[in-house]
Amino acid sequence: MKTIRSFLKKNYPDLKINASMDPTGRNIVTLSGECGSWQQVVEIGHNVAKQEGVINVVNDLTVKGMTIPRKDYSPYIERGMESGQLDEADVVIVGLGITGCAIARALSKYKLRVIAIDMGEDVATGATKANNGGVHHAGGVKPGTLKAKLSVRGNRMYDDWARDLGFEFKRCGDLLVVEDPRFEEELKAEYQVAVQNGDVFPELINGDQALKIEPKLAEYGVEPKLALWLPSQGRIQPYEVAVALIENAAANGVKVIFDCTACAIETKDGSVTGVLTDKGSIRTKYVINAAGVYADEISEMAGDRCFTIHGRKGTIAIMDKNKPPMYEHQTGHYISASVQHRNADSKGGGMEFTPAGNILIGPSATEVPDKEDVETTGEELEFIMRINENPDVSTADIIRIYAGIRPADYSEDYVIGMSPLTHGFINVGAIQSPGLGASPAIAEMVENILFDDATKLKFPMPRKENYNPVREKKVKFRELSREEQDKLIEQRPEYGHVICRCETITEGEILDAIQSPVIPTSIDAIKRRTRAGMGRCQGGFCQPRVLEILARELGLDWIEVNLNKKGSNILKSDNRIMNGQNRDKRGV
């Protein structure tokens, strides 16, 4: 503690910062005091976390003259208390991003009562919906970290996941080229990192070999001197994976509750007894905290303040498909973070694309005090366009800009494990990139933690005899041959009714999505499942049609259909067409 205090005094002589050590002896430092800016709060947190022996930082530093936004759980608690008991389970999973969905599926193979809740109206409404969709190689991950270990293992598990769950997965490989000799040593170091982490077949290759892998480099006038080929890199649509996972988990018996906010963890004699949500209390033996940017607050609810999440915003621009990716593989120059003036703690930023063929430009990486600040700004757009290497695209090709918040902590590693203070409470926090790639391995790790603990407690966790890991692949009309399409339309005429013209999404596909084990209730939920609204017009034409289908199938009024979360209804009141007898005449 003495060294940390003297470090703070020496480096921040003008600030009054208090540092104290976690009383449980875990070498977690709690910081308090006042700083000059949010950047300084984050910088001090990072610097303290880097001190020898420190495993993490709880950062209570404030900023002079600034109110740091914090979620107020009291209205949720009040509503939950009024509602009484909602349900009973063995395990409650809080948060249904890719991490929670993966865990739900992993646990669905056991004879356990698993309830999975999310405060959103669907899965993947947090970081999982707003990222680059890379199943990363282990080139840029610090060796020895949990992140590195789970990233490599998770990446290898993706082929099985994609086969069983029927989602699109492109193992495109990543080719990092160097033309400027200044970066050769750094590229060699990146190769060593990949080797050390146990990545699959990374290769340091010369310029000619690079041109063989990606001949189009020459067309763009690139003359690689040295390159790093990382064949394990893959690409997914992250929301598609989350939906596939939760549908399979639900088909195997997991109960899913949306619009349900965890607001307190109930304990007795140092063990979990339940989760209070705004819909009531769920009695349970285990709580798995996969709450993304709010994971530190859920951990605090369980009486275990062991990390702080500082949101790191990333802005991404998505391009129209009429500008296809330059290269077949994920390919770009290796340029060190310092030269691009980007945050070295965040991965990504190369020439990325979605499996559907849209180019992605970005992300940026900006520390923000508000965990819900997903506003996109001109400044961020200017930055991502500046680091873009693709001469074929400009801002005119952008069909959407979005931002997501990375749930970073100060150790810049994952926080996964049973709380030593509250038995039955399992943290799965700080899952920033490569969280998508690591998620199969994260789920496996959590499954093992639970299994070991249950075994110790002689609490049986037998497997279900009828567990089915396979989720049937959904129809993608646009990918079928003409003959296959005709056959399908004959069987179900709704496949002949195109709703989203940009992406060729049919009514049949929307009905398939609705008639699934986890029913989508919002327009965005349909978009995540089918791509209706993801094309050039961004739903300008198909949104009213999707609204009509949702209302018809779910027995709702048009004005009750939300764009996404509660209260985001697109139609605010009855209009001339809807009122009176005309209302009954509507139809798709």
Ligand X SMILES: Cc1cc2nc3c(=O)[nH]c(=O)nc-3n(C[C@H](O)[C@H](O)[C@H](O)COP(=O)(O)OP(=O)(O)OC[C@H]3O[C@@H](n4cnc5c(N)ncnc54)[C@H](O)[C@@H]3O)c2cc1C
CA nearest neighbour of 34 among 14, 48, 52: 14
The footprint of ligand X on residues 518-537 (CB under 6 A) is: none
As measured in angstroms, the least distance from the Cβ of 295 to ligand X is 7
**Nearer residue to ligand X within complex by CB, 229 or 294:** 294
Q: Is 333 a catalytic residue?
A: no
CB 157, min distance to ligand X, A: 13
Please report, as residue ranges, which positions from 246 to 265 form the binding site for ligand X (by CB under 6 A).
261-262
Going by their DSSP bridges, the two strands 169-170 and 262-268 should be labelled as unpaired
> Taking contact as CB under 6 A, which single stretch among the options 43-51, 326-334, 401-409, 457-465 is the one that binds ligand X?
401-409
- If one asks whether residue 275 binds ligand X (CB under 6 A), the answer comes out as no
Among 80, 280, 332, 434, binds ligand X (CB under 6 A): 434
Among 136, 137, 310, 329, which one carries the catalytic annotation?
136
Q: Are 332 and 350 within 8 A, CB to CB?
A: yes
Q: Which of 433, 522, 562, 564 contacts ligand X by CB under 6 A?
A: 433
| CA gap 168, 493 in Å, rounded | 25
| Pure H helices in 198-251 | 207-213, 216-219, 238-251
Q: Which residues inside 340-359 make contact with ligand X, applying CB under 6 A? A: 348
Asked if 272 contacts 91 with a C-beta cutoff of 8 angstroms, the reply is no
Alpha helices in 172-270 (DSSP H): 184-197, 207-213, 216-219, 238-251
- Provide the token pair at 316: 């991404």
Q: Which of residues 83-142 bind ligand X (CB under 6 A)?
A: 94-100, 117-120, 125-128, 130-134, 136
Among 292, 369, 508, 520, which residue interacts with ligand X (rule: CB under 6 A)?
Answer: 292
From the CB of 76, what's the least distance to ligand X, in Å?
8
Return d(Cα 298, Cα 95) in angstroms, integer: 10
Closer to ligand X at the Cβ: 224 or 404? 404
**Binding residues for ligand X restricted to 357-376, rule: CB under 6 A:** 363
Buried b (16+ CB within 10 A) or exposed e, 408-438: bbbbbbbbbbbbebbbbbbbbbbbbbbbbbb
Which span (184-192, 289-297, 387-395, 499-507) binds ligand X, by CB under 6 A? 289-297
In this chain, which stretch among 56-64, 164-172, 288-296, 476-484 interacts with ligand X, using CB under 6 A? Answer: 288-296
Helix (H) or strand (E) holding 453: helix 435-456
Q: How far is the CB of 35 from ligand X (least distance, A)?
A: 24
Contact between 435 and ligand X per CB under 6 A: yes
Complex with ligand X: residue 97 or 533, whichever CB lies closer: 97
Q: How far is CA 52 from the centre of its chain?
A: 31
Contact 55, 146 (CB under 8 A): no
Dig out the tokens for 506 from the structure: 């049919």
User: Judged by CB, which is closer to ligand X: 202, or 362?
Assistant: 362
Give how many residues touch ligand X by CB under 6 A: 42
At 379 the three-state DSSP class reads helix
Check: CB of residue 530 under 8 Å from CB of residue 513: yes
- CB burial readout 259-278, b (16+ within 10 A) else e: bbbbbbbbbeeeebebbbbb
- Work out how close the CB of 298 gets to ligand X at its nearest, in angstroms, rounded to a whole number: 6
Q: Is 404 in the site for ligand X (CB under 6 A)?
A: yes
* Minimum gap (Å) between residue 389 Cβ and ligand X: 17
Torsions phi, psi for 403 (to 5 deg): -135, 145
Closest distance between ligand X and the C-beta of residue 10, in Å? 34
The helix (H) or strand (E) run that includes residue 441 is: helix 435-456
Q: Compute the least distance from the CB of residue 525 to ligand X, in Å.
A: 12
Q: Which of 405, 443, 500, 547 binds ligand X (CB under 6 A)?
A: 405
Residues forming the site for ligand X (CB under 6 A): 94-100, 117-120, 125-128, 130-134, 136, 261-262, 290-292, 294, 298, 314, 316, 348, 363, 404-406, 431-437
Question: Known catalytic residues?
Answer: 136
